[in-house]
Amino acid sequence: MMSLLVTLAFLLLPYQLGSSFSFLPSFSQRKSRYSSLQERPHQQELVPPPNRRGAPHGGDMAYINENIQRQKNTYYQIRESMGEDIEDCIRDVYGKAYPQNQFWYIGKLAFTSGTVSEAVALQRQWNLLQEHGSRLRPVELGRAFGRIEIFIAPGDSEVDVSNNEMPLKRIPRPPKDTITEIQKVSLKEIGLNLEIVTNNGLGFRVDRSPSGGLLP
Helix residue spans in the chain (DSSP H): 2-17, 27-38, 65-81, 118-124, 126-136, 158-162, 179-182
Give the integer Cα–Cα distance in Å for 96 and 205: 10
Residue 140: is its pLDDT beyond 70?
Answer: yes
Residue 179: is its pLDDT beyond 60?
Answer: yes
Average pLDDT over every residue of 44-48: 51
pTM beyond cutoff 0.95: no
Average pLDDT over every residue of 133-149: 93
Q: What is the mean pLDDT of the chain?
A: 83
Phi, psi torsion values for 94, nearest 5 degrees: -125, 155
Give the integer Cα–Cα distance in Å for 118 and 103: 19
Looking at per-residue pLDDT, the higher value among 92 and 40 belongs to: 92
* pLDDT value of residue 23: 46
Average pLDDT over every residue of 109-114: 95
Check if the beta carbon of residue 150 is closer than 8 Å to that of residue 170: yes
Among 83, 85, 103, 92, residue whose Cα is nearest residue 210: 103
110, β-bridge pairs: 90, 191
* pLDDT value of residue 126: 96
